[in-house]
């Protein structure tokens, strides 16, 4: 199984709502990532989890809150978002967080988020 799954596929939320994005992988990977991607742009890294611990936070606003309950699951909790946060949110995983071909990341299909 070389798949990263993400739910939901689409999400529309108001600026006062609280919602969560979910990402799951069953490849035994020990690094998981959240990216934000705007149209026609490369993915922008938000967070990295290594061995279920947060290792990188790319100065992301606190209205985005990541969580890694176990080695297969990654959540992104959303609260009080702004319209400019509307984007495609991608999850990825890789076998290990550092060195060599471990940087090969497997991406999920993404969640299309619209903030109204």
Partner 1 sequence: AQTVTQSQPEMSVQEAETVTLSCTYDTSESDYYLFWYKQPPSRQMILVIRQEAYKQQNATENRFSVNFQKAAKSFSLKISDSQLGDAAMYFCAGEGAQKLVFGQGTRLTINP
By CB under 8 A, the residues from 25 to 84 that bind partner 1 are: 31, 33, 40-43, 45, 48, 50, 55-56
Residue with Cβ nearer partner 1 (87 or 115): 87
Q: Which residues contact 81 (CB under 8 A, 6 or more apart)?
A: 13, 15, 17, 63, 113, 115
Cα 24–Cα 29–Cα 33 angle in degrees, nearest 5: 60
Smallest gap, in angstroms, from Cβ of residue 60 to partner 1?
A: 14
Q: Of 14-22, 61-69, 74-82, 98-106, which part binds partner 1 (CB under 8 A)? A: 98-106
Contacts of 111 (CB under 8 A, 6+ apart): 6, 7, 8, 9, 10, 11, 21, 88, 89
Q: CB 75 → partner 1: shortest distance, Å? A: 20
Q: Which residues bind partner 1 (CB under 8 A)?
A: 31, 33, 40-43, 45, 48, 50, 55-56, 88, 90, 92, 97-98, 100-101, 103-110
């Amino acid at each position: 199984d070389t798949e990263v799954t993400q739910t939901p596929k689409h999400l529309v939320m108001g600026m006062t709502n609280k919602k969560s994005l979910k990402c799951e992988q069953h490849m035994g990977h020990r690094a998981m990532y959240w990216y934000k991607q705007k149209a026609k742009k490369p993915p922008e890294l938000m967070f990295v989890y290594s061995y279920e611990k947060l290792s990188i936070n790319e100065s992301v606003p606190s209205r985005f809150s990541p969580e890694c309950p176990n080695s297969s699951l990654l959540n992104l909790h959303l609260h009080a978002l702004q319209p400019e946060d509307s984007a495609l949110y991608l999850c990825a995983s890789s076998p290990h967080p550092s060195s060599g071909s471990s940087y090969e990341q497997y991406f999920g299909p993404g969640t299309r988020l619209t903030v109204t």
